[in-house]
A = this chain, B = another copy of it.
Amino acid sequence: MSVAATLSGEQEKGSALDALIAMVADDLRAVNETIVGRMHSQVSLIPQLAGHIIAAGGKRLRPVLTLASSHLCGYTGKRHVKLAACIEFIHTATLLHDDVVDESDLRRGGPSANAVWGNKPSVLVGDFLFSRSFELMVEDGALPVLAILSHASAVIAEGEVLQLITTNDTETTEEAYLEVVRSKTAQLFAAACRLGPLVAGRPVAEEEAMDSYGLNLGIAFQIVDDVLDYSAKQETLGKVIGDDFREGKITLPVILAYARGNEEERAFWRRTLENQEQTEGDLRHAIALMERHAALTDTIGRARDYGDKARRALSCFPDGPMKSALLDVVTFCIERGY
């Protein structure tokens, strides 16, 4: 499967995200061309490995947000294309390093890069994409962009380390969990959205509004992702669930179920997540405990609160099709949790 073929390939139709993607389709094609062109290196393993993960691709939500926020702010230039590619490069670099850290064999339903090529090139190609992203920003030439993305990158790394520390720790608080989510996921959503008003030369208040939209959307997105890892519906769709459970990651559904559980239940969580002693049926039992305590639905409830904040952040922008699409994407990111 060539990268170019996948990058230009069709998206599934129907969702609010697809509607948003359709509105920026031409720009997104240009972003994909930039990605393919700029992940090139004479060291052929680099585009091979980078192409593998970029082709697996998903829907490019983060660069789409940069494109959409630029349009929302009336931007008519071309800078947003290169900057959206920067966002995707940073995202891809963190995915490559994540998979090494998580020792994942799968990524988006296919084999992960580290499973195919080993950890070593995954670490180094991540570094390459990260550096290349900064080279692209330098070509763009705006220090505020470099400030936003260098800061976001540092915060992402901090969030990943914090997640590592909370792994296997059933005493992890909801606050610590949210700090991880805000740092490792939402910070890049916020940066992606902020670039729109920035390139459009809009007032700082609009930058902050889009930052808030992205931040809260990103938090909601990650919270829902953490629910999906325990979702029976996902399983019926053929998706693998239980990765977080197997790795001992302490996500909000676990935190709520643990807080509401009795001593016997807490002993179960400590055995499975803290001591990593898991046997067949444990994942099923974990899901049953979450359902008993409404941990999954309440977690979705938290995501909804952040979704509301994201929607409210757009109030300063004039109504129109792009704003509607961005509002609908919030709903989509949360409702996929069912």
Enumerate chain A interface residues (CB-CB to B < 8 A). Answer: 41-43, 45-46, 94, 97, 100-101, 119-121, 123-128, 130-132, 134-135, 137-138, 141, 143, 146-147, 150-151, 153-154, 156-158, 160-162, 164-165
List, in ascending order, chain B residues with CB within 8 A of A43's CB: 158, 161-162, 165
| A134 in complex: contacting residue of B125, B132, B134, B156, CB < 8 Å | B134
Q: Given the interface contacts A143-B138, A143-B143, A146-B134, does A46 sit within 8 Å of B124 by beta carbon?
A: no
| A153 in complex: contacting residue of B46, B127, B162, CB < 8 Å | B127
CA distance A198 to B46 in the complex (A): 31
B150 near A131: Cβ-Cβ < 8 Å: yes
A154 near B138: Cβ-Cβ < 8 Å: no
List, in ascending order, chain B residues with CB within 8 A of A94's CB: 127
Which B residue sits closest to A139, measured CB to CB?
A: B147
Q: Given the interface contacts A143-B141, A143-B143, A165-B43, does A134 sit within 8 Å of B153 by beta carbon?
A: yes
A150 near B134: Cβ-Cβ < 8 Å: yes
CA distance A120 to B248 in the complex (A): 15
| A123 in complex: contacting residue of B41, B97, B162, CB < 8 Å | B97
17 contacts between A and B (CB under 8 A): A42-B158, A43-B162, A45-B165, A100-B119, A101-B120, A124-B160, A125-B161, A126-B127, A127-B153, A128-B161, A130-B130, A130-B153, A131-B151, A131-B156, A131-B157, A134-B146, A135-B151
B128 near A157: Cβ-Cβ < 8 Å: yes
A164 near B121: Cβ-Cβ < 8 Å: yes
A127 near B45: Cβ-Cβ < 8 Å: no
A128 near B101: Cβ-Cβ < 8 Å: no
User: Interface SS of chain A: helix, strand, loop or mixed?
Assistant: helix
CA distance A125 to B123 in the complex (A): 12
A53 to chain B, nearest CB (A): 15
CA distance A162 to B43 in the complex (A): 6
Which B residue sits closest to A152, measured CB to CB?
A: B131
A50 to chain B, nearest CB (A): 11
List, in ascending order, chain B residues with CB within 8 A of A162's CB: 43
List, in ascending order, chain B residues with CB within 8 A of A157's CB: 46, 124-125, 127-128, 131
8 closest A-B pairs by beta carbon, nearest first, are A131-B153, A128-B157, A131-B154, A134-B150, A127-B157, A101-B120, A135-B150, A138-B147
Q: Given the interface contacts A100-B123, A138-B146, does A132 sit within 8 Å of B154 by beta carbon?
A: yes
B46 near A158: Cβ-Cβ < 8 Å: yes
CA distance A135 to B143 in the complex (A): 10
CA distance A100 to B161 in the complex (A): 16
List, in ascending order, chain B residues with CB within 8 A of A127's CB: 94, 97, 126, 130, 153, 156-157, 160
Which B residue sits closest to A154, measured CB to CB?
A: B131
A227 to chain B, nearest CB (A): 25
CA distance A32 to B41 in the complex (A): 35
List, in ascending order, chain B residues with CB within 8 A of A132's CB: 154
